[in-house]
């Protein structure tokens, strides 16, 4: 499993540790801001619905992007690894989507009796603006930012701080943080839904993280994340 191009990057580095702290701070800020925006939305301080979704997304995206930019500006673009996607990567990406979605559906049926992938109920004509803003954020923007932040930067930086024999822990710990962040960011409203979200996103994080670690490329991880989210958006799109 290759996570860093140079052998000497496995030596502990104060600079890399500072980068990890900066990324964690960015994630905490994103969670706090998301909670604040959610509270304001519930109080009716943010209107209309499309603006509510956009405000919620920006409260997460901006801190993560700023944290990523800070690290990349200090270390260079090479920190992210390579982005080009090879054909074999796409095959693995498709396999990741299928496996992660199967886990999600099995959990949903076991916990709720339904797959959860059914069109959202709609009274009257759907709000097209709201649907478009939500879909673009979920399917395109979030996967790119999250994979860059978690797999491209946090996982690779953490792996560089570990020994070659323990670098696999970077994949597991990053996947755990990825899943935990989705809980704190309000991806679920009940305990059961929270458990499902955590397990599913943890599995997705493990699989995409392993792919990035093996190939040193984040492109396929982004594709897998995009397709994973796209399945949910298409399946739940109001009919």
- pLDDT tens column, 132-174: 889 999 999 999 999 999 999 999 999 999 998 999 999 999 9
- pLDDT interval class at 129 (50, 70, 90): confident
Indicate the domain borders of the chain: 7-236
Task: Report the alpha-carbon angle 47-48-53, nearest 5.
Answer: 95
In this predicted structure, the answer to whether residue 83 has a pLDDT above a threshold of 90 is no
Give the pLDDT confidence of 111-125 residue by residue, as tens digits: 999 998 888 776 566
- pLDDT interval class at 11 (50, 70, 90): low
pLDDT at 96: 97
In this predicted structure, the answer to whether residue 87 has a pLDDT above a threshold of 90 is no
Distance separating alpha carbons of residues 23 and 238, to the nearest angstrom: 36
| Torsions phi, psi for 188 (to 5 deg) | -140, 150
Burial class (CB in 10 A: 0-12, 13-18, 19+), 147: buried
- What are 82's strand-pairing partners? 217
Respond yes or no on whether the N-terminal peptide bond of residue 48 is cis (omega within 30° of 0): yes
Taking every pair of Cα atoms in the chain, the longest distance, rounded to a whole number of angstroms, is 61
Give the pLDDT confidence of 17-61 residue by residue, as tens digits: 999 999 999 999 999 999 999 999 989 999 888 899 999 999 999
- pLDDT > 90: percent of the chain: 70
Nearest to 68 by CA among 28, 32, 22, 30: 22
Distance separating alpha carbons of residues 144 and 209, to the nearest angstrom: 14
Decide: pTM greater than 0.85: yes
């Amino acid at each position: 499993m290759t996570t860093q191009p140079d052998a000497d990057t496995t030596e502990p580095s104060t600079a890399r540790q500072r980068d990890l702290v900066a990324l964690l701070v960015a994630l905490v800020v994103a969670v706090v801001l998301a909670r604040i925006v959610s509270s304001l939305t519930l109080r009716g301080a943010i209107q209309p619905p499309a603006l509510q979704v956009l405000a919620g997304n920006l409260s997460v995206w901006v801190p993560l992007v700023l944290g990523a930019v800070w690290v990349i500006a200090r270390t260079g673009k090479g920190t992210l690894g390579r982005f080009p996607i090879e054909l074999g990567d796409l095959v693995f990406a498709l396999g990741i989507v299928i496996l992660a979605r199967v886990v999600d559906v099995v959990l949903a049926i076991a916990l709720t009796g339904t797959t959860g992938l059914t069109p959202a109920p709609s009274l009257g004509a759907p709000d097209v603006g709201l649907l478009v803003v939500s879909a673009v954020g979920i399917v395109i923007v979030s996967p790119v930012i999250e994979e860059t932040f978690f797999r491209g930067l946090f996982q690779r930086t953490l792996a560089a701080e570990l020994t070659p024999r323990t670098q696999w822990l970077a994949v597991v710990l990053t996947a755990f943080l990825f899943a935990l962040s989705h809980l704190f960011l309000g991806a679920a409203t009940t305990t059961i839904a929270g458990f499902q979200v955590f397990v599913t996103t943890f599995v997705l994080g493990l699989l995409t993280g392993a792919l990035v670690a093996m190939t040193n490329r984040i492109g396929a991880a982004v594709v897998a994340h995009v397709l994973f989210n796209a399945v949910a958006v298409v399946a739940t799109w109001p009919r």
